[in-house]
Structure 1
Amino acid sequence: MTEILLVTCAALPDGEPEGQLLVDAFARRGASARWVAWDADDVDWAAADLVAVRATWDYDARVEEFLGWAERIEAAGARVLNGAGVFTWNTDKAYLAALAEAGVPVVPTVVVDGEESLPAAVAEFGRAVVKPRTAAGGRGVVVFDLEAGGPSDLDESALEMGPWVVQPLVESIHTEGEWSVYVLGGHVVSAARKMPAPGDIRVHEQYGGHTVAAEVTAGHGALALACVEVAQELLGRRLPYARVDQMRLADGTLAVSELEVTEPGLYLDQLPGNADAFADLALGELSSPG
């Protein structure tokens, strides 16, 4: 029987929320799937037919270890969806600047390596969002509001260790929220709309945000496909799965806020059909060249 390893972290032994839906979707297709922590020391990764990174949501605190794991199991013969090289590129938010340079509409992003460059980057936007270049789950996000009469000298004590990316605070996060569009197997399959709690900009549930299923609009779908196409050109390889997060800028333009091609949550509680779509693409990969 075909064996699929769904990769999670030790804190989430059952994977992402409603992760059993993925296991069941593979079972209906005659494949065996199980959740395994990426840092478990008793797993023969190369013995599986396919390794799918799904809920490794502790990677940002252990990024070198995580990327080393991905490289090591690939070198040992494991077939990893998207793959270690993609993870290395995608876990550094500087990729957003690379996408913008290649012509993708992206939320304006300034890459900051050291503290001496941070005040100028924040001042460029006035109301600015600062994030660690490697971060997940909304961790480490800090908002500086110079337009509200904030100090000219930034209080950097709230920041996590750099380097960082700096972006403008996109006001539509409070009205329209952030959209997540799923591109699986080269096709747009679904979308979710995520809203923050009042007074916050983080859409994650642990900060009071909430997510609902949404109909894919032509604009959101077109941007998602264009973003994935450009990313594939930059990387020189196909991306079997992607989640393209999007926000609407002040001029009405849709812009990419994140391209998640490492471990994007599928929001299976709101989009249960993503389980079948993901299983189809994963098993389809087995019939294509490695």
Structure 2
Amino acid sequence: MTRVLLATFSLLPDGEPGGDLLVAALAERGVEARWVVWDDPDVDWAAADLVVLRSTWDYQRRYAEFSAWTRRVEGVTRLLHGSDVVAWNAGKAYLLELAADHDGVPVVPTALLDDRRLVPGLAAALDRWGTVVVKPRIGAGGVGVVVASSTDDPRLEGLVAGPWVVQPLVASVRTVGESSMWVLAGEVVGQVDKRPAGGEVRVHELYGGSSAAVPVDPTRAEVARAAVVAAARRLGAPPAYARVDLVLLEGQEGLGGGWAVSELELIEPGLYLDLAPGLAAPFADLVVSVLVVPGLGEA
């Protein structure tokens, strides 16, 4: 039987919420899968036909170690996604590359900040956009996100280690929220809408946010597909899977309009199987297709 290892991290040894559904879906397709912790020294990665990055949700604070691990694993077996994808997607500077794509993918305006130019860079962003959001360049889960209205805003004391990206505060995040679109093998197969708690800009449950699976909206699906196509041009091959987070830019001067990409997650996007159990089957189908076709999904 084909063996697949689903990589997770130490605080979730049994995988992402609802992860048993993915194991069962793979078993129905003749694939033996199990969850393993990515930094467990006892795991024999070479014994797997494929390793799939799933809930490795500590990679952002252990990036150098995690990146080295991806290179070691793909030296002995196939890794989905591989180290080149991880290297490109881990830092949010990729948003500038998507915005520069010749097909004009709509992206939330983004600038880069580092310690050396923190004050002048922040001042320029504030002058351009007004209230801004500062995020760690390599980050996840809303950790280290700071909203600021001036260079002496006391909230900036909450900055985690840089470098960072800075973006305008998109007002609709507090009212409409954001939409996460799952794109598997180029097709949008699911949508989860997320709303923050009162006054927050982070939609994560940790900060009081709520999420719900909803039918796929064609307009948002088109933007999500365009983002994945643009990423494929940068990577040289289409990514096998992606989660594209979108926010609505309507009503803010200087930001254009419509749905825009706030994040493209190619490394370890959770499938929200507890909310959208139907995503287990298409993801299992994707894994099987990668196993059958050499090189598929190895952007």
- 1:71 is aligned to 71
Matched, 1:275 2:276: no
Query: Residue by residue, what CA displacement relative to the aligned partner does 1:147-202 show, whole Å, maximum 9, x if unpaired?
Result: xxxxx534432101111000111111122111011111221111110111111111
Other-structure match for 1:120 = 124
**2-side partners of 1:14 and 1:131: how far apart?**
29
Q: Return the letter of the residue paired with 1:84.
A: S
Match of residue 140, structure 2, among 114, 136, 146: 136
Aligned residue in 2 for 1:108: 109
SS, match of residue 106 in structure 2: coil
Please give the residue correspondences for 1:176-195 in structure 2 after superposition, counting only pairs within 5 Å.
176-195=176-195
TM-score by length of 2: 0.92
Distance 1:130 1:95 in 2: 16
**Deviation digits for residues 121-143 of structure 1 (CA, Å, limit 9, x no counterpart):** 23322110000000011100000
State the one-letter code of the partner of 1:275.
A
Aligned amino acid, residue 85 of structure 2: V
Task: Tell me if structure 2 keeps the 8 A contact 1:3–1:33.
Answer: yes
SS of 1:276's equivalent in the other structure is helix
Report the Cα offset of residue 44 of structure 1. 1.4
RMSD: 1.2
| Cα distance in structure 1, aligned partners of 2:128 and 2:162 | 19
Q: Structure 1: how far apart are the matches of 2:158 and 2:286?
A: 41
2: CA distance between counterparts of 1:235 and 1:123? Answer: 34
Could you tell me which residue of structure 2 aligns to residue 94 of structure 1?
93
**What CA distance in whole angstroms lies between the structure 1 residues aligned with 2:78 and 2:109?**
35
TM-score where L is the length of structure 1: 0.95
The runs of 5 or more residues in structure 1 that have no matched partner are 147-151
1:249 alignment counterpart: 249
Q: After TM superposition, give the deviation of residue 120 of structure 1 in Å.
A: 2.3
Task: Structure 2: state its 5+ residue gaps.
Answer: 252-256
Percent identity of equivalent pairs: 54
Instruction: Work out the CA distance in 2 between the residues paired with 1:176 and 1:190.
Output: 18
